Amino acid sequence: MILSIWKSGVYKILALIGENMFEPKLIPSNARFNRNTFAIIAAIILLLLSPFIYMYGSIIWDTLSEHYHRTAFDSAKWQDKGLVKSANPIRIRMVDDLLKQYSFSGMSREEVTEILGEPDKTAYFREWDMVYWLGPERSIMSIDSEWLVLRLDAERKVTECRIVTD
């Protein structure tokens, strides 16, 4: 009995393999069931992973989009209130280039205002001497704003410059 089961199993394997590797193989009758089962399992896995795919995909998309929309610093555009307060603020897109071009450390207040214009009037960041609103925070959940802040010493020279969020 066991020998006959073993022989029938060996014959099925040999029939699937064939005498030659390149010879077409016999497909068992339950192969369609296996393909359908695989498709169902793959669909369930994809459905379970879809929130993670969406979340990480949107993070990657936002990051790439933010990098793509960066622009070179232009003092006139930086100071243009129409571009600053628009739906897509210009300052947030050019601040990285601004900080590459200028270190601001040691500059006088007059030199800074010549480049950036007069600071924004705001109740935020009273411990800083000059404050410029950049735009919505560059992150997946931008609920805050980013600001360029500068601190001056007694001689009205910049001692510190950084980007902060409120």
DSSP one-letter code for 43: H
Spatial distance between the Cα atoms of 7 and 4, rounded to a whole number of angstroms:
5
What pLDDT does 2 receive?
47
Best CATH choice for the domain 69-165 from the list 1.20.140, 3.30.750, 3.30.70, 3.30.1450 = 3.30.1450
List C-alpha distances in Å: 100 to 54, 68, 137. Answer: 34, 17, 19
What pLDDT does 132 receive?
93
3-class DSSP state for residue 139?
coil
What pLDDT does 22 receive?
54
pLDDT along the chain (166 residues), means of 10: 48 53 55 73 89 80 71 88 82 90 91 91 87 84 86 92 89
What pLDDT does 28 receive?
57
User: Are the C-beta atoms of residues 90 and 71 closer than 8 Å to each other?
Assistant: yes
What pLDDT does 37 receive?
82
Overall pTM surpassing 0.85 (yes/no): no
Phi and psi dihedrals of 108, rounded to 5? -80, 165
Residues in the chain: 166
Q: Among candidates 112, 152, 119, 151, which has minimal Cα distance to 134?
A: 119
Phi and psi dihedrals of 148, rounded to 5? -100, 120
What pLDDT does 6 receive?
46
Q: Domain coordinates of the chain in residue numbers?
A: 69-165
User: Are the C-beta atoms of residues 146 and 134 closer than 8 Å to each other?
Assistant: yes
163, with CB counted inside 10 A (0-12, 13-18, 19+), is: middle
